[in-house]
Amino acid sequence: MQDVSGWKLRLDAETIAAYTSSGQWTNTTVWQAAERYARQSADRVVLVEGAVQMTVRQVVDAARQLAAGLHAIGLRAGDVISYQLPNWWETVVINLAACASGLIVNPIVPIYRDGEVRHVLRDARTRAFFVPESFRGFDHLGMATRLRAELPDLSHVVVVRGSAPRTSANTSFDAILAAGRSDDRPMRIPDPNAVKLVLYTSGTTGRPKGVLHTHNTLMSEINAVIDYWRVGEDDVVIMPSPVTHVTGYLYALELPFVARASTVLMERWDAGLAAALIHRHRATLTVGATPFLAELAQQAGPWEGLPSLRVFASGGAPVPPEIVSRARRALVNCAVFRVYGSSEAPTVSLGIAAGDDPELGATTDGRIVNNQVRICDPATGAHLPAGAEGEVVVRGPEVMVGYTTWVDTEEAFDSQGYFRTGDLAFLSHGDFLTISGRKKDLIIRGGENISAKEIEDLLHAHTSVGEAAVVSMPHERLGESVCAYIVPNGDAVVDLALVTRILDAAGLARQKYPERVEVVSELPRTASGKVQKNLLRERIRAVLAAEKPARDAG
């Protein structure tokens, strides 16, 4: 199927009919949900960001004005608008305006610079690019202006929270809003199977790829979450994860309007502030990576365990069982659990439900929901039984409809339409999934496969270890050996001898012991919280190369 945007999609009439007849695709959009919400609860506060509080009606009216203003400057259905913004209220309005007018939205994480942003804007064929004038000391407007000169498709740079554009070719968010105030044309309801979102993978293992989602694939995920976590009008989502990542995008910009809930945005993560915001706004639900969970649990005590919080789903990076258990003890009324998903398949598993053993929230990545999952032999593709470790392949109504490049799409799916995630896992307790690593995260030492995650979980359980990331490093005889990067807990002293004692006490095979420990103050992460192991592998290779002359001389 060819989308109006020009991308080839993995969609056919049979697939559309099957998911529609099953009710997994509802053929509705978040704009329609927002309009219904505004008709029924116009004066309810739906959005809080810093000192800004907006009602449902205010958000919907602003989105309508922005959509009209974008039409006035020449944007039409199927055009791509990108934004590289923090968790600001304007992102909510941009997303709804895009949905209302059939535009495709492309979030870009704020930490990206010219190289990454150039690739994304060119690949997405972006027409309008929303940026802050500056953020955290970086001149985003200057970067956008430079890139505009290189990219023929990029016709508009839109400055958000900036005083004035620096060239006549740029405009401002406020000016586009003002241009749309007098335009009361009815909004265009897009084809629910048209592309709505293009989201680029974090690039931790290679060239970023543009993930394509439709209105139906995203709405299917949101409805499944609402049903499984029982999200409703009494819920308040607090969102520290970037809204430029699939987690923040779905649960801050989309879910509140469908569930008729509200959202509190955090511009940057601060555990103390997060605890205060949860207390002040009676926040009930959040989704975030491991550091958010660990640090919030440490702040819960002065707030009597933050009793309003009822769900903390942690994913996006490996979550050690001990961190989940500690958080469950600290957050008094909160179900804390691991979840698993990706940009391509947002939530393959959704944690535990009422009646499940709470310990499964720490020791597994949760129950498979809204997806068909198989565990397959990474080498042959053969379907493996429960308990056997293999690659996770997934098929379902929320799985992406392809990448922006068709060859990438063809390589990503098997002959039966299952998406190859590249993650290793096993099934247990019926339909519970436990991620054990990545195919590319395996360390192959002398022909023996070693799971980095297995070692990391044992290290995380020790009081001296704050964070651990285990990666492969070159070995002249064995091909690869094990290196552990450690962030000590406080003033603890961590060295190779301690790591060896920890793993020895756990009874781990000696072949899995790290041969080197690098103590660092922090681990490199993507905006979504994933440890960038590719950077750690490059770092240790460079260190070993620098040390080689001394080793040879010795």
What is the reported pLDDT for 201? 86
pLDDT band for 111, please (50, 70, 90 cuts): confident
- d(CA 387, CA 343) in angstroms, rounded, equals 26
Sheet holding 311-314, edge to edge: 52-55, 45-49, 262-265, 236-239, 285-288, 311-314, 335-338
Same domain as 431, residue 349 = yes
CA distances from 264 to 52, 224, 240, 245, 431 (A): 10, 22, 9, 16, 33
Q: Which of 403, 436, 5, 487 lies closest to 206, judged by CA?
A: 403
Structure confidence by residue, pLDDT tens digits, 382-429? 999 999 999 999 999 999 999 999 999 999 999 999 999 999 999 999
Same domain as 493, residue 435 = no
Domain count, the chain: 3
Same domain as 172, residue 301 = no
Same domain as 261, residue 176 = no
- d(CA 113, CA 91) in angstroms, rounded, equals 19
Same domain as 172, residue 236 = no
| CATH classification of the domain holding 65 | 3.40.50.980
What single letter denotes the amino acid at residue 393?
Answer: V
| CATH classification of the domain holding 321 | 3.40.50.12780
CA distance from start to end of the chain:
63
Q: Which of 140, 110, 106, 144 lies closest to 123, judged by CA?
A: 106
Same domain as 164, residue 71 = yes
pLDDT averaged over the chain? 93
Same domain as 131, residue 107 = yes
Pairing of strands 390-395, 419-428: antiparallel
Q: Which of 101, 64, 60 lies closest to 79, judged by CA?
A: 101
Asked whether the predicted pLDDT for residue 168 surpasses 90, the reply is no
Asked whether the predicted pLDDT for residue 10 surpasses 60, the reply is yes
pLDDT band for 204, please (50, 70, 90 cuts): very low
Same domain as 456, residue 388 = no
Range of the domain at 118: 30-188
Structure confidence by residue, pLDDT tens digits, 234-259? 999 999 999 999 999 999 999 999 99
Same domain as 231, residue 150 = no
18 domain residue, yes or no:
no
Residue with tokens 């469908």: 258
Same domain as 278, residue 392 = yes
360 burial level (CB within 10 Å; 0-12, 13-18, 19+) = buried
What is the reported pLDDT for 383? 95
137 domain residue, yes or no:
yes
Structure confidence by residue, pLDDT tens digits, 27-84? 999 999 999 999 999 999 999 999 999 999 999 999 999 999 999 999 999 999 999 9
Share of the chain above pLDDT 70, in %: 97
Q: What is the DSSP letter of 251?
A: I
Asked whether the predicted pLDDT for residue 100 surpasses 80, the reply is yes
Same domain as 334, residue 227 = yes
19 domain residue, yes or no:
no
Asked whether the predicted pLDDT for residue 108 surpasses 50, the reply is yes
pLDDT band for 476, please (50, 70, 90 cuts): confident
166 domain residue, yes or no:
yes
Same domain as 182, residue 44 = yes
Residues 6 or more apart whose Cβ sits within 8 Å of residue 89: 47, 49, 52, 54, 265
Q: When comparing pLDDT for 188 and 368, which is higher?
A: 368
Structure confidence by residue, pLDDT tens digits, 269-284? 999 999 999 999 999 9
Q: State how far Cα 113 lies from the chain centre.
A: 19
- d(CA 82, CA 102) in angstroms, rounded, equals 14
What is the reported pLDDT for 47? 98
- What backbone torsions phi and psi does residue 85 show, to the nearest 5 degrees? -130, 155
